[in-house]
Amino acid sequence: MLTLAVLRPALDDHSSPLPERFALDIGGELREPTRWADDIDPATADTLATVGSATPDEVDAAVAAARRAAPEWGASAPSHRGTLLRRLADLVRRDADVLARLETRDTGKPLTQGRADITAAARYFDFYGSVVEGFLGDSIPLGRGSLAVVEHEPHGVTGHVIPWNYPAQITARSVGAALAAGNATVVKPAEEAPLVALAYARLAREAGFPAGVLNVIPGGAEAGTALTAHPHVEHVSFTGSVATGRTVAAACASRGRPSLLELGGKSAHLVLEGADIDRAAPVITRALLLHAGQTCTAGTRVIVHRSLHHQLVSAIAPFFATATLGHGLTDPTVGPVVSEQQVKRVQGFLERALAAGAVVAAQATDADGLGGYFVAPVLFDEVAQDTELFAEEVFGPLLAVTTVDSDAEAVAAAHNSRYGLTAAVWCQDVDRALRTARSLDVGQTYINGYAPGGGVELPFGGTRDSGYGREKGVEALREYSRSRTLFIDIA
Start-to-end CA distance of the chain, whole Å, equals 61
Mind spelling out the 3-state secondary structure of the chain? Answer: CCCHHHHHHHHHCCCCCCCCEECEEECCEEECCCCEEEEEECCCCEEEEEEECCCHHHHHHHHHHHHHHHHHHHHCCHHHHHHHHHHHHHHHHHCHHHHHHHHHHHHCCCHHHHHHHHHHHHHHHHHHHHHHHHCCCEEECCCCCEEEEEEEEECCEEEEEECCCCHHHHHHHHHHHHHHCCCEEEEEEECCCCHHHHHHHHHHHHHCCCCCCEEECCECHHHHHHHHCCCCCCEEEEECCHHHHHHHHHHHHHCCCCEEEECCCCEEEEECCCCCHHHHHHHHHHHHHHHHHCCCCCEEEEEEEHHHHHHHHHHHHHHHHCCCECCHHHCCCECCCCCHHHHHHHHHHHHHHHHCCCEEEEECCCCCCCCCCCCCCEEEECCCCCCHHHHCCCCCCEEEEEEECCHHHHHHHHCCCCEECEEEEECCCHHHHHHHHHCCCCCEEEECCCCCCCCCCCCECCEECCEECCECCCHHHHHCEEEEEEEEECC
CB 445 within 8 A of CB 270: no
CB 110 within 8 A of CB 332: yes
Q: Does 262 participate in catalysis according to the annotation? A: yes
Task: Name 47's bridge partners.
Answer: 40
CB 445 within 8 A of CB 437: yes
Task: Name 150's bridge partners.
Answer: 138, 485
User: Do β-strands 463-464 and 419-420 pair in parallel, antiparallel, or remain unpaired?
Assistant: antiparallel
Closest listed residue to residue 184, CA positions, set 27, 52, 322:
27
Whether the CA torsion 25, 26, 30, 34 is positive or negative: it is negative
User: Do β-strands 235-239 and 299-305 pair in parallel, antiparallel, or remain unpaired?
Assistant: unpaired
* Residue 125 burial (CB count, 10 A): 30
Catalytic residue among 262, 393, 471, 479: 262
| Catalytic residue positions, numbered | 262
